[in-house]
Amino acid sequence: MTMIQQVLLELESDYHGRPYHVSGHALYRALARRVDAATRSSVAVSHGVFVPGEHGGYPDEHSQSGGAPYFGAGLRPVESYEDLFLFRDAAQRWLSASRPRDAQNTHDLRVHGGRIAFSPTVRFGLPQASRNSKRTMTWFVQFYLHDAGGSADSVPLDEDVLDGLRVGGARNYGLGETSLKDTQTVDLDTLDYSTLKDAERSFELELVSPYVTASEYPGADDQSVPWWWTPRPGGLRRRDERLVEDGDVYELETIDHGQVVGYGGPNPVETAKSGVLRVGTHSRYGFGEVRLRPVSEDRVPERARIAATREAGGGER
């Protein structure tokens, strides 16, 4: 059994930090204050992805179908490998097409003593002729945990541990407060990996979170690009990250998230499982998460339809 625990937190107060995700290291530090030493030494935490509590539905690749109001306000069934990434896809493809996607992908800003923070809710105004001229949308944070110590003893964590976490900066001033909205466990060994078992197909990897190649953190070794990656022409985009611990700042060199590379390994199913648990240095803090998918699948179906229309002799551009 390879168990992960999915967690959905509701943002209760303004948040001061990164606009699109909460680092796994920040979530780990928030949890570490509430658990015993054995759990603290073995638990691993993914990056937390911001999710809007909005109307939406399951993408075609999901094992379920249909939709629901406030779709992003609760965790959804996980029966296949693709289901794991429902709320971890930066494009939020589950979001209803009737919603203003660009506006849903940003936070309202507030200023606290010179600090720019993100509001936990967004107010949308509609034409006065609409039945309801205003509505409010709430932000959530989705992440998951697993035991990196080789046993399943540290997960799932109790709801009391997960409820009331504070993340981000200026926590002493009341910012970054969250409440537990939902949690569930998933056994990676029992999921459906049928899309990755066709030996005749080619596969590609998407970096869901940055992959660390060098770190100033004590005891961390440098990492090379994995041999089973086949980068595209133009090379790999890189960026600097930081870990902050007890007032000390450690610089990290990473390969940036969001990139897609070819897959040259022999066992896509095992690679897919490893990618969920993350690979490389600082994987227990959310770095090195990768997603595997068949290369024939267009990552943006709407783009494929537009291209087909264009090739047919005109239409949308």
pLDDT in tens, 5-21: 999 999 999 999 888 88
Q: Which amino acid is at 262?
A: G
Predicted confidence band at 43 (pLDDT cuts at 50, 70, 90)?
A: very high
Predicted confidence band at 114 (pLDDT cuts at 50, 70, 90)?
A: confident
Q: Is the dihedral of CA 145, 146, 149, 153 positive or negative?
A: positive
Q: How far is CA 99 from CA 105, 158, 168, 197, in A?
A: 11, 35, 28, 36
Q: How far is CA 199 from CA 89, 272, 297, in A?
A: 26, 15, 16
pLDDT in tens, 198-234: 767 789 999 999 999 999 999 999 999 999 999 888 8
Residue 188 φ/ψ region, left for φ over 0, alpha for ψ in the -120 to 50 degree band, beta for the rest = alpha
- 3-state DSSP call for residue 284? helix
Contact predicate 58/94, CB 8 Å: yes
Predicted confidence band at 316 (pLDDT cuts at 50, 70, 90)?
A: very low
- Give φ, ψ of 170 to 5 degrees: 55, 40
Predicted confidence band at 303 (pLDDT cuts at 50, 70, 90)?
A: low
More confident residue, 315 or 116: 116
The DSSP bridge partners found for residue 10 are 140, 179
Please, is 153 exposed, middle or buried when counting C-beta atoms within 10 Å of its C-beta (0-12, 13-18, 19+)? exposed
Question: Rounded CA gap, 217 and 95, in Å?
Answer: 38
Residue 118, pLDDT above cutoff 70: yes
Overall average pLDDT of the 151-165 stretch: 88
What is the per-residue pLDDT for 105?
A: 75
Which of 112-116, 129-133, 190-194, 255-259 has the lowest average pLDDT? 129-133
Q: What torsion, rounded to 10 degrees, do the Cα atoms 67, 70, 73, 75 define?
A: -10
Residue 45, pLDDT above cutoff 50: yes
Which of 22-31, 157-166, 268-277, 300-309 has the lowest average pLDDT? 300-309
Q: What torsion, rounded to 10 degrees, do the Cα atoms 34, 35, 36, 38 define?
A: -150
Q: How many other C-beta atoms can be found within 10 angstroms of the C-beta atom of residue 242?
A: 11
DSSP 285: G
Predicted confidence band at 317 (pLDDT cuts at 50, 70, 90)?
A: very low
Residue 75, pLDDT above cutoff 50: yes
Q: How many other C-beta atoms can be found within 10 angstroms of the C-beta atom of residue 264?
A: 13
Residue 309, pLDDT above cutoff 80: no
Residue 273, pLDDT above cutoff 90: yes
Question: Rounded CA gap, 254 and 120, in Å?
Answer: 29
Which of 13-17, 123-127, 135-139 has the lowest average pLDDT? 123-127
Question: Whole-number mean pLDDT of the chain?
Answer: 88
Predicted confidence band at 87 (pLDDT cuts at 50, 70, 90)?
A: very high
Which of 17-21, 41-45, 61-65 has the lowest average pLDDT? 17-21
For the chain, which residues make up each domain, given as ranges? 3-187, 194-294
What is the per-residue pLDDT for 20?
A: 84
Residue 257, pLDDT above cutoff 90: yes
